[in-house]
Amino acid sequence: MKKIIMTMMVTGLLASQAQAADTFKEGKDLFQQNCFMCHNAELEPAQAPPMFGVQMKYKMATEDKESFVNRITDFVMHPTKEKTLLKEPVKVLGVMPDIGAEEDEVRKIAAYIHDETFQPPCSHWKHAAERFKKEGKMQMYKKHQQRYDAMCSNFTAAPKVQHANFKGGITAEEGSLQAVMQQIAMDYAALNDAIFKEDFAKAATAAHAIAFHGTPSLGTKMKLMGGLRTDMKEFKKADHKVHVLATEVEKAAKAKDMKTLIAKQSQMLSACMACHTSYRSRIIEILK
């Protein structure tokens, strides 16, 4: 009897997995037929924004898959300027035309767009960077060139901030959030050490390094955005809080004001812990 139930459960599981794969394939085929002629990242000049960025924007604007699918479907069925999330493509190409798609098909396509892992649109970024440079739009040029450098080439930027000289082995993978945190922790330890030795210059250096800590690679950031979705804003706020307090620690150290220094350092530690309580275990899951 047990065996029969087990067999039924396993068959059920396999059947639902097969069904999920079918739905994905169907959505992908429909996407190829209805959307890809414009949303093809290789086209030059571009006819529509690559799906890599579209997916990211919509994930950051929605809580879950259901609202993602609803929002994409609503846009594609009745595109208006007010609904658009991609301001730059709208400026360059105008609002997407109503392509007269069937709603049930668009829903399947939207579910596929949610689940697909799109490749970074490297040649699109490269061309866009070159075009913006030629047009003298240096902000836009920089934005696209940075994306290209971060995700399409193996070059990594040299660290800009001088870190406190505190010994400790970095074990985490380069570009990971964990490596960033380990560096912050070393700077934090250096700050504590400096406080006990009343070494204000060293305290200021360490606090500065915390305030202007490195950032994880663009790939890690993308994963974070995709996983935290609408909570990304709150996560950035938590990071900013530590930034502001570390800047105040630095100021107090420069003023040789030990009382304020200790008060701000303690507030900063609370801000570190507040972010850990809210996000740490969740983010470790996301980045797995």
From CA 211, how far away is CA 241, in angstroms rounded? Answer: 10
Kindly state the number of chain residues that form the binding site for ligand HEC, as judged by CB under 6 A.
Answer: 49
Burial readout 54-75 (b: 16 or more C-beta within 10 A, e: otherwise): bbeebbbebeeeeebbebbbeb
Closest among 241, 180, 246, 254 to 216, alpha carbons compared: 180
From CA 280, how far away is CA 198, in angstroms rounded? Answer: 32
Which phi and psi angles does 17 have, rounded to 5°?
Answer: -65, -40
Which is closer to ligand HEC, CB of 138 or CB of 274?
A: 274
From candidates 69, 106, 164, 261, binder to ligand HEC by CB under 6 A: 106
Which is closer to ligand HEC, CB of 3 or CB of 167?
A: 167
From candidates 96, 211, 222, 249, binder to ligand HEC by CB under 6 A: 96
CB atoms within 10 A of CB 162: 10
Distances (CA, A) of 166 to 170, 186, 198, 250, 269: 11, 6, 16, 18, 19
- Which residues 20-39 are close enough to bind ligand HEC by CB under 6 A? 34-35, 37-39
Q: How far is the CB of 75 from ligand HEC (least distance, A)?
A: 5
From candidates 27, 41, 69, 75, binder to ligand HEC by CB under 6 A: 75
Considering only the stretches 82-90, 142-150, 197-205, 258-266, report the one whose residues sit in contact with ligand HEC under the rule CB under 6 A: 82-90
From CA 155, how far away is CA 216, in angstroms rounded? Answer: 14
Q: How far is the CB of 240 from ligand HEC (least distance, A)?
A: 8
Whether the CB-CB separation of 242 and 271 falls below 8 Å is answered with yes
Tracing tokens 């529509």 back to the chain, one arrives at 48
Question: Position 35: which residue type?
Answer: C
Q: Is 89 in the site for ligand HEC (CB under 6 A)?
A: yes
Q: How far is the CB of 199 from ligand HEC (least distance, A)?
A: 19
* 188 to 207: interface string for ligand HEC, x by CB under 6 A: x-------------------
Whether the CB-CB separation of 288 and 224 falls below 8 Å is answered with no
From candidates 242, 249, 252, 253, binder to ligand HEC by CB under 6 A: 242
Q: How far is the CB of 191 from ligand HEC (least distance, A)?
A: 9
Which is closer to ligand HEC, CB of 49 or CB of 120?
A: 49
Whether the CB-CB separation of 151 and 180 falls below 8 Å is answered with no
Whether the CB-CB separation of 92 and 47 falls below 8 Å is answered with no
* 264 to 283: interface string for ligand HEC, x by CB under 6 A: ----x--xx--xx--xx--x
Residues near ligand HEC (CB under 6 A):
34-35, 37-39, 47-49, 54, 72, 75-76, 79, 84-86, 89-90, 93, 95-97, 99, 101, 106, 109, 172, 177-178, 181-182, 184-185, 188, 210, 235, 238-239, 242, 268, 271-272, 275-276, 279-280, 283-284, 287
